[in-house]
Amino acid sequence: MQVLTGYCRQAYARQVCERNLSPADQDVLALARPHNERNPSATILLRTYYGPGSDDALAAILATFHGFPEFGLGEEGRDCLFSDVRYAYGNAWQRIFGRMPQLLECLRTDYEADRAAALQVGQDMEREDKEMIESEGGEWPRDAAYIGDMYNQYHIAATCRLMYVLDEATLAGDKRVEERKLLAVWHDPDGRIVRSCRMSPDEVYTQTATLETVVRDDKSTWMDAEIGDDYNWGGILGPPPIEGEDEDEGEEGSDEDER
């Protein structure tokens, strides 16, 4: 995925300036930009597929949420991005960042320091684990489960927001509601995927409050989620090679364990 930085930051700066518009201009802006775009909350439902039968599928999913307050369903879908004119992105759900760059805003002022510290903790754990395993004659693994465990806190520190996407895989076809898996995506302030997985409507309903917080590492949904390419072995934000390690060996392990 292309990283969204300069353009989106400038666009967001322009949106911040809009707060100083006159009441008349604010009214014009309200017609062009819905309230849920100008004031997004921590939890977002983004619908990107609008094919045949998808309206009924969506209604069945929303009924499962029972007016879930995190999605503002009791307030006319305050935090739901549903529009075949604005959001018909298909599988390219990342396009939402071009329209709503404020979704990339991270409110933690110590974000970079926290992420760097958590990365160092992961590296220390990895080095100690490698030394222990090899001292006992074992083979040091570098697989998806390994990185998800050792670098769990790093991935938590890197995450900016959790977003749920209702795409074609979610809404198309004749399925029972429990079979309609939403795409859950944890992304960083540059729009890179940290982790992602598919969740049933019931899992979304029962786990969202936990999955948004630092206690998410108690949930198998987060721990078993697929790690984004940029945060995996060989990724630009993935764990760097341990000092003295053969980099080619690490990259080879990444290819073999790619999901």
Per-residue model confidence (pLDDT) at position 89: 97
pLDDT (tens digit per residue) in 147-174: 888 999 999 999 998 999 999 999 999 9
Is a pLDDT exceeding 80 seen at residue 62? Answer: yes
Is a pLDDT exceeding 80 seen at residue 16? Answer: no
CA distance 211 to 188: 15
pLDDT grade, residue 8 (50/70/90)? very low
Cα-based torsion angle of the residue sequence 32, 38, 43, 49 in order, rounded to the nearest 10 degrees: 20
Is a pLDDT exceeding 60 seen at residue 180? Answer: yes
Provide the mean pLDDT of the chain: 80
CA distance 116 to 246: 23
pLDDT (tens digit per residue) in 206-248: 888 778 776 676 688 999 999 999 999 889 999 887 665 554 4
Residues 6+ apart with CB under 8 A from 156: 118, 214, 216, 217
Per-residue model confidence (pLDDT) at position 33: 65
Helix 54-65, helix 201-211: angle, nearest 10 = 50
Question: Over the Cα atoms of the chain, what is R_g?
Answer: 20
pTM confidence score: 0.79
CA distance 153 to 117: 9
CA distance 158 to 187: 8
Is a pLDDT exceeding 80 seen at residue 36? Answer: no
Per-residue model confidence (pLDDT) at position 131: 87
